[in-house]
Chains A and B, each alone.
Chain A
Amino acid sequence: VRGPWISDTPWRLAVPLTIAFVLTAVLEQGTVLSAMLARPIRLACGHAAMLAVALSWAGAARLAPAVAGLAAGVTFVASATPVGAVLYLSPGLVIAHLARRGRLTRAGLGVACPWQAVVGGGLIGAMLAGHLIVSGSLTFGYRPAFVVTPALLGAIAYDIGLQVPATELFLRGAVFNRAQRHASFVIATAVTTLLAVARYLVDPLLPASAALVLGMVFYVSVLSVAACWLFARHGSLAPALGASTVFFVAYRLLGSR
């Protein structure tokens, strides 16, 4: 049961979104577009493209344009106003609804999974985040900031509602899931981890510092390997979602130097 690597890919949706993403990045680099305008466009295009591919590969191709459109829309609205950040939760809720209705089982959502596995995933994310906080504060002087601000809440909403679900659905539910049916676990994990690193390297929110980029590569790689292992071990995306969610929420607690 293998099937072609890239069957069911929504080219008509993914290709324009990817072109828009790249074009925006180029225009931003050339200072034709301001960062204020370019970043929401890149975020919207990136997440929409990932969700479109993930949903289509999961057999929900008819829903892909709507969910991708919703993700892009809320990204624009949420970028415009701090209060609008709560809208980031809506794609996550839609995905949860689809999972409950059994539309995303081929992506590992809505399938039976023991709660211990989800807790285990959360623990892995917490350990990695704890390490990040300790080493970040000791090495780079980033101190954890436990002050709840609208920006922090908005960032957490972005992670919980859009960034983590879209990324996990794409990387684990789609890419790794398909790769492991064509190649060994090591190769599938390597491919997925390379894509994960690439995905966060092009993230417009990543600070432009070599040390931080190296740290990102390390933590994203470890998180990706752990998430792939959890997915392969349990056949469910829930533990990987737990690990990523806990890790990124904890990451948001890192304040400035």
Chain B
Amino acid sequence: MSTAWWWRTGAAVALVTVTVSIALSGAHPDALLRHALVLPVVVVAIRDGGARGALAGLAAAALHAPFVLPHIEREGLTYRAAEGLVTLVLLAASGVVTGALAGAVTRERRRYATLMKVQRAAGGDTGTIHAVAARLHAAHADAIGPADIGLVLDAGPERVTVGVVPFDRATIEAVMADRRPRFLYDADGGTRARRALAVPVHGRARVAGVLCASRAGEIDAGDRATLEALGAYAGLALENAELAEAQRRAAVELDARIAAATRHLRELDAAKSAFVAVASHELRTPLTALAGFSELLSTRRFAPEAVQHFAGVMRTETARLVRMIDDLLDLARLEQGHEMALHRTAVDPCTAVRDAVAVFGDGTTAPAIDIDCGADVPAVHADPDALDRVLKNLVSNARKYAPGPLGIRVRRRGGGVEFSVQDRGPGIPPDALPHVFDPYYRAPATAGRVRGSGLGLAVVQALVHAHGGTIEVESATGAGTCVRVTIPSVS
């Protein structure tokens, strides 16, 4: 026997005992003991809710009626009879009212308990849609007391179903489409009518699914309202959880971006520091040469051949100095967001290549440069000075890192002309390859070995892009490097 059974039995015994006591004490309709009938009625109503409270109240009234009605039959509607009649009404009403209030309290308690569970189920680490559905289903287990709960969640093209769903697919889709609940008085045609309710689980933006409840027995208006409210709450909780999850992901992503940007800035800062050191050295070297030779020429007398030699050296160092300062100025302009000023005209690519490589010697003092110029190469639409700087930078780079023979090929490609500079040097390490166009970047393996500012390829790339062209580097360790530049042709 359950505790509830003992309470009900105790209440029944109490009602009978009070009735017998009233009967033994004279069976008066206004006996003082009649007030004791209220106690078991209220106890049953508080414990078992509206229906049983009403039954208990009716039972108490029915038990007291034999003391009231015969009195009216015998003596008419006296003051005592009126008191008895009022007692009958109050007994019935106390059961109904107390039961209704107790039922409402129980319903509210269940609702709040379920709300808390839904909040916990939807919050935190949301996990897969199946896990969320399982948690939400478990949270609604006691939403309206004993009932089979089912949940259908919208997971894109499919529907995730947990628990008992006594509705067909079309009904579920209809609930999701018009956000209106559906109620079945009998879901399965069994000997006990099985009530079933489907309510939308909807937030502000969308319908996330359908919450179902079914049981053999009544699902009254209060339970239906509770389920509708819980459906709406679950929808909002899901939506909030999704928003929180999206915010968390965004925060993580933002953190990662900030970390990457900070790392990049630190690298850039380090590279700039290194550049300042290198640039100081690079600027100082030609200046030292210029200062030394000019001092020699101004203080001493030399043979005309020697003077010519000194002048050649000074011219070379001056050119290097000019090139470096040009690079620095271009880069500064680009970093400030200014476009390069180009004076574009039709330039013969083969002539441009030959002019550019002329300064690198004729092959007697340095390894030869093999120029392969195609027969049908059209003129390019380029700034002659800028194109010259691009080509000289590429050849100069190749010379610095790959002292061996060098090949330059000029070919028509698509709507432009491709210049490829191929060396037979050690190649660029794979980890350095993505950074070769970064300003100030110098591959760690060569930074201490080869002179350079780390500006050359950055400036080349900027110039090529300013022409609307493309540049790409292909390299394999030990197999040399090939830089391909494409400049649009005049046509």
Residues of B within 8 A of A135 (CB): 65-66, 69-70
* A245 interface residue per 8 A CB criterion: no
Q: Is A31 part of the binding interface, using a Cβ–Cβ cutoff of 8 Å? A: no
Among candidates A111, A138, A181, residue contacting B193 with C-beta atoms closer than 8 Å: A181
Shortest C-beta distance, A257 to chain B (Å), equals 12
A-B contact pairs, 6 of them (CB 8 A): A134-B66, A135-B65, A139-B73, A180-B193, A235-B190, A236-B191
What's the Cα separation between A2 and B189 when bound, in Å? 8
Chain B 163-200 interface mask (CB, 8 Å, partner A; 1/0): 00000000000000000000011111111110000000
Q: How far is the CB of A102 from chain B (nearest CB, A)?
A: 12
Q: Select A183's contact among B69, B73, B185, B220, beta carbons within 8 Å.
A: B185
Chain B interface (Cβ within 8 Å of chain A)? 58-59, 62-63, 65-66, 69-70, 73, 184-193, 216-218, 220
Q: Tell me whether A233 and B217 are in contact (CB under 8 A).
A: yes
Contact of B218 (CB < 8 Å), options: A2, A108, A184, A236? A184
Residues of A220-234 contacting chain B, CB below 8 A: 222, 232-234
Please report the C-alpha to C-alpha distance between residue A123 and residue B134 in the assembled complex, in whole angstroms. 44
Judged by a CB distance under 8 angstroms, whether A101 is at the interface is: no
**Cα of A219 to Cα of B186 in the assembled complex, Å:** 30
Question: A-side interface residues toward B, CB under 8 Å?
Answer: 1-2, 105-106, 108, 111, 127, 131, 134-135, 138-140, 177, 180-185, 222, 232-236
Q: A108-B191, A232-B218 are in contact. Are A180 and B186 (CB under 8 A)?
A: yes
Closest 7 CB pairs of A and B: A235-B192, A1-B189, A235-B191, A181-B186, A138-B70, A180-B193, A135-B66
Expressed in whole angstroms, the Cα–Cα distance for A182 and B190 within the complex equals 14
B191 touching A1, Cβ below 8 Å: no
Chain B residues near A181 (CB, 8 Å)?
185-186, 189, 193
Closest chain A residue, CB of each to CB of B72? A139
Q: Which residues of B contact A233 (CB under 8 A)?
A: 217
Q: Which of A1, A134, A139, A140 contacts B188 (CB 8 A)?
A: A1
Question: When chains A and B are docked, how far (Å) is the Cα of A185 from the Cα of B216?
Answer: 12
CB-contact partner of A185 in B58, B63, B70, B218, under 8 A: B218
Q: Given the complex, which residues of B lie within 8 Å of A111, measured CB to CB?
A: 191
Q: How far is the CB of A60 from chain B (nearest CB, A)?
A: 15
Contact B185 A139 (CB under 8 A): no
The secondary structure that dominates the A interface is helix
Q: Which residue in chain B gives the minimum CB-CB distance to A138?
A: B70
- Complex CA gap A2/B185 in Å reads 8
Closest chain B residue to A226, Cβ basis: B55
Is A131 within 8 A of B193, CB to CB?
Answer: no
Residue on A nearest B12 in the bound complex, by CB: A127
Q: Are A131 and B62 in contact (CB under 8 A)?
A: yes
Nearest to B23 among chain A residues (CB) is: A134
Closest residue on chain B to residue A107 by CB atoms:
B191
A131 touches B66 (CB 8 A): yes
Contacts of B188 in A (CB 8 A): 1
Nearest CB in chain A: distance from B118 CB, A: 27
CB-nearest residue of chain B relative to A231?
B192
Contact A1 B192 (CB under 8 A): no
Contacts of A236 in B (CB 8 A): 191
Task: Give the distance in Å from the alpha carbon of A85 to the alpha carbon of B59 in the complex.
Answer: 36
User: Whole-angstrom distance between the alpha carbons of A36 and B270 in the complex?
Assistant: 122
Chain B residues near A235 (CB, 8 Å)? 190-192, 216
User: Can you add 11 more A-B contacts, CB < 8 Å, to A2-B186, A232-B217?
Assistant: A1-B186, A1-B188, A108-B191, A127-B59, A131-B63, A135-B69, A139-B73, A180-B185, A181-B186, A183-B185, A235-B191
Query: Within the assembled complex, what's the spacing in Å between the Cα atoms of A195 and B356?
Result: 113
